[in-house]
């Protein structure tokens, strides 16, 4: 049995289709793998949602909200986190493959 995740990765996005695929891949390919990946789509009007749905990974929890801004999306995501630790990444960032391992240790 796998231990319950003690880390959530929180990604918020608004019209992030240009970069979000690489961001998601960089998180899913982490050396530390026992995490929840919450993606909050802040009402994107481009194809961001399609890009997100192209991933099939049980760690991903997807939420779509009305566009209320970055801080509102972060607060929404933080309220959904039920883990001891939270790591935040922006939709146009790429994480080194050991980012979460370094943060959790």
Quick: pLDDT tens for 72-98.
Answer: 999 999 999 999 999 999 999 999 999
Is the pTM for the entire model greater than 0.85? yes
Give me the pLDDT at residue 5, please.
Answer: 87
Q: What residues make up the domain containing 59?
A: 7-104
Q: Is residue 2 included in any domain, yes or no?
A: no
H-assigned helices in 7-84: 20-28, 48-53, 70-80
**Beta strands per DSSP E along the chain:** 7-13, 36-41, 60-64, 85-90
Q: What is the CATH number of the domain that holds 17?
A: 3.90.550.10
Q: Is residue 89 included in any domain, yes or no?
A: yes
Q: Is residue 51 included in any domain, yes or no?
A: yes
Q: Is residue 84 included in any domain, yes or no?
A: yes
**Number of folded domains that form the chain:** 1
Sign (positive or negative) of CA dihedral 69, 52, 63, 88: negative
Q: Is residue 44 included in any domain, yes or no?
A: yes
CA distance 63 to 40: 5
Instruction: Say yes or no to pLDDT of 1 above 60.
Output: no
Pick from 50, 54, 37: nearest CA to 88: 37
Q: Is residue 21 included in any domain, yes or no?
A: yes
């Amino acid at each position: 049995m796998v231990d319950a995740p003690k880390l959530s990765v929180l990604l918020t996005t608004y019209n992030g289709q240009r970069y979000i695929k690489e961001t998601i891949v960089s998180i899913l390919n982490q050396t530390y793998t026992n995490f929840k990946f919450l993606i909050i789509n802040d009402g994107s009007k481009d194809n961001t949602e399609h890009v997100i749905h192209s991933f099939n990974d049980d760690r991903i929890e997807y939420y779509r909200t009305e566009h209320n801004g970055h801080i509102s999306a972060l607060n929404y995501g933080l309220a959904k986190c039920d883990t001891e630790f939270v790591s935040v990444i922006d939709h146009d960032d790429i994480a080194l493959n050991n980012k979460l391992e370094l943060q959790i240790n």
